[in-house]
Chains A and B, each alone.
Chain A
Amino acid sequence: MSIPASAAPRFPVKSVLVPTVFLVFLGACITTLSGDWSGLFSRSAVANMLAFFVSFFPPAGSVAFLQRVVAAAMETLAISLIGTLLAAIGGLALALPASGRSGKIAKALTRWVANVLRAVPELVWAAMIVVATGLGPLAGTLALAIHTTGVLGRLFAESLENIAPEPYEALRRNGVSPMPAFWYATFPQVLPQLVSYTLYRWENNIRAAAVLGVVGAGGLGQMLYVYLSLFQVHEASTVLIAVVVLVGLVDAASNATRARLIR
């Protein structure tokens, strides 16, 4: 067993310069933030905050209400399912040119599109789409589909680029057209990774679907937003519990499926 030797004596640029710059930067940030910070941490303010959170218990549990919560949970699940599925199809469509099979220009263009779709968060997409389609789960589904298409498009493109080219090339050299060659040679090679990525995104998307409702895109999120706005905290806490449970279930299902695939 060894004990680490002490550092050699030389001017520790990193250990002095970095914290200093950081503290200066932090100070600038703190001064920018408005709000009565001292008032925030006063005893009465903290007590109020605690009281606010305590008031959430107990969660509301009437049967009629629980039925509505379950219905909203089903809606959230549906949003995440359809949105992710659409994104898998869209992502594959994007990934084919993005992996370079159709030339450099197509590759650059589709990669740029995927980056733009990825960069804008699902919530922002949803907030914009709600303006066009109105309140409801459709906005959430489309927002998830659009954003996740960008994410999966890039992941799928990288998978396509990393597989062995021999099966595809052998078919092409024997006179098979590009599309059938893709389905016969490339797709079977890359399918497990595609499914794995899609399932992984579904785990993320169930969380996203739950919160998209906050901007009016349906499901548990919309319910939560409404109850919080009306300060009906008991109902809100039930919805929160439903969110946590739903997310946990989808995580478990996704992990189990991925474990089975690897076999």
Chain B
Amino acid sequence: MHVSALPASVTDSASDTLTDPMLSSLDGVRVSYAGSVAALDEVSLLFARGEQVAIIGPSGAGKTTLLHTLGCAIRPTAGRVRVLGRDPWAMPYKALHRLRSELFIAPQSPPLPPRQRVVNAVLAGRVPQWTTWNALKSLLHPLDAGAAHHALAHFRVEDKLFLRCDRLSGGERQRVGLARLLVSKARLLLLDEPVSALDPVLAKGALETLQQEAFARGATLVVGLHAVDLALARFARLIGLRSGRVAFDLPRAKVTDALLAQLYGAELGVAFQEPPSTDDARLKVIRCL
């Protein structure tokens, strides 16, 4: 398993990075929707600049809510959020808008308009850097089709450049959504299940590309993943989320099978017919989820 080399500062303990003005954090954050159901409860996390983190947990654990709260899309009911060193909810609206252009949220299902061509869907990631006039001109005749092509090539879908989005398969759409990220200039990348529709080979390649891009930009990468094996293989730090709370926040080496079994508790119970041996348990934790 190839692991891309990360700068030493990223693997240091969190205390060294507290003085970094570009860190993002959640502090005692609680997010609850209508009623009393808390999607996030007392979550406190710190993300240094350039860190690459995977968030794992069972369905409904709050991965999506956490990513969106970090991305200034959801305002927490309690607690404080810092994004790239700033408090998004204490800013005037214009400053928040500018802050948003420095982050990139990739939702679980790629938000591509069905009848739009791939080239425009990808270049939409560059629009925050363009003037309104240029953005409109690009719709009529793409201003930087080469960049879109280059970005798509990283995910092996460059031949779809001028096709309509609704003519693509699910996996192709997901890769187009990721290509949009490549042409943006964001420094905080928040990805929700970015490779869920890709086969294992493509998924590994796509994650590798994303991580290399994040490293090259010095961007902070936070990825919500369902595939625990991918998370263990590719990320130096894993955060386990369960029922809106942080179950653990550890470097990869310290994540044991017992912790994983605890995290996915109820789901694990359904998958087994009888008490397994410890070896079987380790294998099944990685494959069934």
Contacts and interface: CB of A to CB of B under 8 A. Distances in A.
B127 A176 contact: yes
Given A169-B111, A170-B107, A184-B120, A175 B135 contact: no
B44 interface: no
Interface of A: 166-167, 169-177, 179-181, 183-186, 188-189, 191-192
B176 to A, nearest CB: 12
B100 A174 contact: yes
B262 interface: no
Contact of A189 (B73, B107, B114, B124): B114
Contact of A167 (B71, B104, B111, B186): B111
25 contacts: A169-B73, A170-B105, A171-B124, A172-B100, A173-B71, A174-B101, A174-B184, A175-B99, A175-B100, A175-B101, A175-B103, A176-B101, A176-B124, A177-B132, A183-B136, A184-B120, A184-B139, A185-B113, A185-B124, A186-B113, A188-B115, A188-B116, A188-B120, A189-B114, A192-B115
Nearest to A174: B104
A76 to B, nearest CB: 32
Interface string B122-154: 001101101010011001000000000000000
Nearest to B136: A183
A174 B127 CA distance: 10
A3 to B, nearest CB: 50
Given A170-B107, A173-B105, A174-B100, A183 B112 contact: no
Interface residues of B, number: 32
Nearest to A179: B132
B115 A177 contact: no
Contacts of A176: 101, 124, 127-128
Nearest to A192: B115
Interface of B: 71-73, 97-105, 107, 109, 111-116, 120, 124-125, 127-128, 130, 132, 135-136, 139, 184, 186
Contacts of B116: 184, 188
Contact of B139 (A181, A183, A192): A183
B72 A173 contact: yes
Given A175-B98, A175-B101, A184-B124, A170 B135 contact: no
